[in-house]
């Protein structure tokens, strides 16, 4: 038992000290009762001489009282701590170490009091974000796009008439507190050995679809799946209606289907949902209105982020919420969607699709730019964040957000940390709130 782990039991907010205090009061009252009994025996019975030394009669009474109180308090705290540990270890996984118990209690108590956060998006960007945010708050809601029509999700959507489960599956896996093996199983994808019918399907997609059939609705299926995997937070589709994403390009041609848009090879001028007037999920709208922090992105701009914002109920709730709203710019461009885009271009595309609305309060972008161009096979360039660009009234926040091993995506921990700093420091008026880097350093990379 290390001193650090022992003292953690005395941290504020663990709901431990009150019970320790009650135990000490009970022991004190019991000791008082024993004292009355012993005094009665003491005045009515003559003890042998050695009892004087055994009961420390040669020490002043105040010193004996302090000594007894100290020993009793230490034994009480130690016993209560070991009791709690024994009970906790009986219901926790066998791999949990004794010293992990207090850390788990502290994290859970702290996260339960965390801000109410809503993250809007889809794809790997959203799940990567949620994986970091769940360390800071349990009051999480992921609003997920339902426009996916490719791969396993597209096949299940076509054959089973369900909303695409792929992005929902990724969010569940990111927020799950279940054993790592269970999460890995949930993400398992069948290969060609499974045959034509199963090849390419994810086990998690099949599980969610089956759960929806068993429970009678997609919402209940997501809820029960989340319960099975001990998900920390809620996953809500932006709509329950069957929608298609349509993109229009500069030459006037249109492409239908989320999976077909990146294959066109150039950024679209506009995307829209068909049908246009679909109903937003009421739980998504309620979560946005009640949130403390609303996060848009990261993720594919036209195929993961905008499909959520084009749902009118979502856009309306976003404009009316009192939450602090942040858009996360991608760290690298995506071929066929955002070639050559800066952080301002990313946010500008959102503003074009939501004209007249105040979409966000801040734009969070990466400040750590590589000194060399990204590999040619990535067909991608770093997303710059020029400070003199037009962010339509939103504040530009800069931080080192990039994953240094995979520079086309965000670092999970750094992104979550920067977001929480931005939220708690939201009232500061400095434009360079997070690790500012002079924009002149980024200019040469614009031509790299």
Residue 392 has pLDDT above 90, yes or no: no
Per-residue confidence (pLDDT) for residue 39, from 0 to 100:
77
Give the mean model confidence (pLDDT) for residues 119-145: 93
Identify the weakest region by mean pLDDT among 51-55, 58-62, 234-238, 287-291. Answer: 51-55
Per-residue confidence (pLDDT) for residue 31, from 0 to 100:
81
Give the mean model confidence (pLDDT) for residues 74-103: 66
pLDDT cut 70: percent of the chain above it: 85
Q: What is the mean pLDDT of the chain?
A: 83
Residue 287 has pLDDT above 50, yes or no: yes
Sorting pLDDT into bands at 50, 70 and 90, what band is 345?
A: very high
Dihedral-angle region of residue 340 (phi above 0 means left; psi in -120 to 50 means alpha; beta otherwise): left
Work out the burial of residue 349: count CB atoms within 10 Å of its CB; fewer than 13 is exposed, 13-18 middle, 19 or more buried.
Answer: buried
Identify the residue whose tokens are 């002043």.
Answer: 60
Residue 16 has pLDDT above 80, yes or no: no
CATH 3.40.47.10 fits 114-447, yes or no: no
Contacts of 175 by beta carbon, 8 Å cutoff, 6+ apart: 130, 131, 134, 140, 142, 226, 231, 232, 233, 235
Residue 349 has pLDDT above 90, yes or no: yes
Residue 348 has pLDDT above 80, yes or no: yes
Per-residue confidence (pLDDT) for residue 381, from 0 to 100:
92
Per-residue confidence (pLDDT) for residue 104, from 0 to 100:
60
Residue 316 has pLDDT above 90, yes or no: yes
Per-residue confidence (pLDDT) for residue 23, from 0 to 100:
78
Mapping DSSP to helix (H, G, I), strand (E, B) and coil, where does residue 169 land?
helix
Domain locations in the chain as residue ranges = 3-105, 114-447
């Amino acid at each position: 038992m290390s001193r650090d782990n022992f003292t953690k039991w005395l941290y504020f907010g663990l709901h431990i000290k009150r019970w320790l205090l009650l135990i000490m009061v009970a022991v004190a009252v019991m000791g008082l009762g024993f004292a009355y009994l012993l005094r009665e025996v003491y005045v009515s019975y003559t003890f042998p001489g050695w009892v004087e030394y055994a009961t420390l009669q040669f020490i002043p009474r105040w010193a004996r009282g302090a000594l007894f109180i100290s020993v009793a308090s230490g034994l009480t705290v130690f016993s209560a701590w070991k009791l709690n540990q024994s009970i906790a270890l009986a219901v926790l996984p066998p791999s949990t170490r004794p010293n992990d118990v207090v850390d788990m209690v502290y994290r859970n108590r702290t996260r339960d009091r965390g801000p109410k956060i809503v993250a809007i998006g889809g794809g790997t960007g959203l799940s990567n974000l949620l994986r970091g945010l769940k360390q800071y708050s349990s009051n999480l809601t992921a609003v997920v796009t339902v426009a996916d029509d490719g791969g396993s999700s597209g096949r299940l959507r076509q054959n089973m008439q369900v909303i695409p489960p792929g992005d929902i599956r990724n969010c569940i896996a990111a927020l799950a507190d279940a054993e790592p093996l269970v999460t890995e199983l949930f993400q398992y994808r069948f290969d060609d050995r499974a045959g034509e019918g199963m090849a390419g399907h994810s086990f998690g997609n099949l599980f969610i679809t089956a759960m929806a059939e068993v429970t009678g609705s997609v919402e209940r299926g997501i809820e029960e799946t989340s319960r099975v995997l001990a998900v920390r937070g809620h996953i809500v589709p932006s709509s329950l209606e069957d929608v298609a994403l349509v993109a229009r390009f500069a030459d006037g041609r249109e492409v239908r289907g989320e999976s077909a848009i990146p294959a066109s090879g150039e950024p679209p001028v506009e995307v829209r949902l068909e049908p246009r007037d679909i109903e937003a999920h009421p739980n998504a709208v309620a979560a946005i209105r009640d949130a403390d922090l609303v996060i848009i992105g990261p993720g594919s701009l036209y195929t993961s982020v905008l499909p959520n914002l084009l749902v009118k109920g979502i856009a309306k709730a976003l404009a009316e919420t009192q939450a602090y709203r942040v858009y996360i710019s991608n760290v690298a461009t995506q071929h066929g969607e955002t070639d050559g885009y800066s952080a301002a271009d990313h946010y500008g595309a959102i503003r074009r699709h939501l004209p007249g609305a105040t979409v966000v309060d801040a734009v969070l972008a990466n400040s750590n730019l590589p000194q060399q161009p990204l590999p040619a096979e990535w067909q991608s360039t770093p997303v710059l964040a020029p400070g003199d660009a037009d962010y339509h009234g939103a504040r530009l926040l800069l931080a080192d957000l990039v994953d240094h091993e995979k520079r086309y995506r965000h670092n999970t921990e750094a992104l979550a940390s920067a977001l929480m700093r931005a939220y708690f420091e939201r009232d500061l008026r400095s434009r360079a709130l997070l690790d500012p880097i002079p924009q002149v350093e980024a200019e040469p990379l614009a031509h790299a």
